[in-house]
A = this chain, B = another copy of it.
Amino acid sequence: MPASYAYLGPEGTFTEVALRTLPEAATRELKPYVSVQSALDAVRVGEAEAAFVPIENSVEGGITTTLDELVAGAPLMIYREVLLSITFALLVRPGTKLSDVKTVTAHPAAQPQVRNWLKTHLPDAVWESAASNADGARLVQEGRYDAAFAGEFAAARYGLETLEREIHDAENAQTRFVLVGRPARPAAPTGADKTSIVLWQRDDHPGGLRDLLGEFATRGINLMLLQSRPTGAGIGNYCFCIDAEGHISDRRMAEALTGLKRICLQVRYLGSYPRADVRPGEVRPPFPGTSDEEFVGAADWVVRCQDGRF
């Protein structure tokens, strides 16, 4: 296995910054790729040990490109997640003034995060989408656009100046990134873990989705993300990407997944990994009746009943 991580490039994006917060990144070669798809393909074909890509942000919700790649094709698995607070800087060529800015660019995902700022400060500026925020900075450097929204760290790399910083329509804007690899034994549970899966309903009927969610609810498992994605079978046909609190080695999660596997048309397991938003000590204890001890005790009791020892 090559000791390299693919990531959504180019260099100088939030993705790279987030990736470098992972201790293991220090010992790998970090290779930028032009798209989420190509980064994940690098993993699938064995060019990279893992790929680091954005999967959710507080403004756009689930990153559909990433989710769609995880939903289809050869199975992949989430190893780790990273949360990064996102604020934008407006980068310009040295000497440009705000009043000079007629065209702005950035990755489309940046747009909702800067929309209000733009409406207020540059109501007449024309927006053009860039392949990435860093690429937008590069295009400004090349003179194609007047200004780019990007992480402030990109200014130096592209010889630009920061005209405005800390631009973010929403407070607490964060992006969640995941390190994705090929199927492997999940990381050991830490006590503050998350499990990601994709569900396809067996058939569509009133209560179908409610019953799927019931497999989590009746075992006291909280959901952190529910993102519908088209199955490709035509409009109105969706599968569901779900992040749920807990680890597949928790008894309640294992049983919930067993239940889903039985009643769904298909379930794709996307991994169990430490949560980046809380530390183990901060996690709410299991609801009454859902701890591992209670599951084990109850299963033992059933076995004793089956054996006539009760």
Contact = CB atoms under 8 A, between A and B. Distances in A.
Interface of A: 37, 56-62, 64, 68, 75, 77, 83, 108, 112, 115, 127-129, 131, 170-172, 174-176, 183-186, 202, 204-207, 209-211, 213-230, 232-238, 240, 248-249, 254-255, 257-259, 261-263, 267, 269, 277, 287-290, 294-295, 297-299, 301-302, 305-310
A80 to B, nearest CB: 15
Contacts of A297: 261-262
Contact of A302 (B75, B254, B288): B254
A145 to B, nearest CB: 13
A59 B234 CA distance: 8
B301 A261 contact: yes
A128 B136 CA distance: 12
Given A206-B222, A213-B209, A308-B186, A59 B230 contact: yes
Contact of A59 (B61, B172, B215, B232): B232
Contacts of A62: 228
Nearest to A226: B228
14 contacts: A61-B229, A61-B238, A75-B310, A172-B235, A174-B235, A184-B308, A202-B289, A205-B222, A207-B214, A210-B214, A224-B236, A257-B298, A258-B302, A262-B290
A303 to B, nearest CB: 9
Contacts of A210: 210, 213-214, 216-217
Contacts of A240: 226
Query: Lowest 9 A-B CB distances belong to which pairs?
Result: A207-B217, A261-B298, A185-B308, A172-B234, A210-B213, A263-B289, A262-B289, A184-B308, A58-B235
Contacts of A307: 185
Contacts of A259: 218, 298
A305 B248 contact: yes
Contact of A306 (B77, B248, B309): B248
A61 B64 contact: yes
Nearest to A290: B262
A93 to B, nearest CB: 21
A234 B169 CA distance: 12
Contacts of A254: 302, 306
Contacts of A108: 108, 129
A233 B123 CA distance: 25
